[in-house]
Amino acid sequence: MKKLRERRTFSQRELGELSEVDNAYIYRLETGEKVNPTPETLTKLLRALKAPERDASILRWLADRPNTSPDLVTYTLDTPDVEFDHFVTAAGMSFRGDARPTPEALLAKVKRMYDEE
């Protein structure tokens, strides 16, 4: 949410006014203090942010999965050619041990898997 808000150069207060959502609630969503906004609240925020469909889909998906890797989310939002399905697949992957691929490497692997199908 914060990434999309900053992309539009809105303060939390401005987004609150535009979306008719309390700016304190927006702060709590962005800091992770609150998770799982209602679909109605999320729709108001996305409408005010004028989020592209892919980014809106990502935020709706994240509303039910707040523990998704922040690095993966940030990379995906910063890289417009990452498809929503690829993001979801990458977010659902699990790994053994402490080694984790970078979001870029993970999404490249997912893309290869989709291309092979």
Q: How many domains does the chain have?
A: 2
Regarding whether 72 and 46 lie in a shared domain, the answer is no
How many other C-beta atoms lie within 10 A of the C-beta of residue 114?
Answer: 12
Flag whether 117 is in a domain. yes
- Residue 8 pLDDT more than 90? yes
Is there a contact between 47 and 19 (Cβ–Cβ < 8 Å)? Answer: yes
The pLDDT of residue 96 is above 80: no
pLDDT at residue number 98:
72
pTM across the whole model: 0.87
Burial group, residue 111, by CB count within 10 angstroms (0-12, 13-18, 19+): middle
Tokens, residue 83:
């498809």
* Contact status, residue 32 vs residue 66, Cβ threshold 8 Å: yes
Is residue 71 within 8 A of residue 103, CB to CB? The reply is: yes
Task: Give the pLDDT confidence of 18-54 residue by residue, as tens digits.
Answer: 999 999 999 999 998 998 899 999 999 999 999 999 9
Determine the structural domain holding residue 85 and report its residue range: 68-117
- Please check the confidence at residue 79 and state whether its pLDDT lies above 90: yes
